[in-house]
Amino acid sequence: MGNYLHRTTRQYFQSISPASLAEDVSSYISMPDMSAVEGVPKRYWVITGDVVSEMNLTEKDAVDAEILSDTRNEAVDEAIDDLEGNLRQLVKLMIQEINILRSQHGLPDRTIEQFKTQIRNGYGS
């Protein structure tokens, strides 16, 4: 019986037989020293070889920025993709009308994806 930390998922198993592991034992760190990450969220763990350590502040900031960006992307996608009824039709109509005006000036059409990107870019400013 031993303790194992999955190298990818960072799932920690205590007092488990190697035969009980879901994957080959090479996917795990056997008897890892977890003292450096005690109380630290898993998203801030760095695994180098068999050593588990805490990210520095710059690395944590990058992780947090990515999470914020992903959250915003999901919110925008959900807000636009899940629009119902009149509001969805209004957005589609606005894009069509904008595209008519753009075509009169020799500009390419705007797409829903570009619309979402513009909304995403407006967050946090």
Per residue of the chain (125 residues), give pLDDT as tens.
889 999 999 999 999 888 888 898 899 999 999 999 999 999 999 999 999 999 999 999 999 988 888 888 787 777 776 666 667 778 888 899 999 999 999 999 998 888 878 877 787 65
- Do 5 and 34 contact (CB within 8 A), yes or no? yes
Is the same domain home to 69 and 104?
yes
Place of tokens 């797409």: 111
How many domains are there within the chain?
A: 2
15 and 39 co-located in one domain: yes
> What is the span of the domain harbouring residue 31?
2-55
CA distance 45 to 40: 7
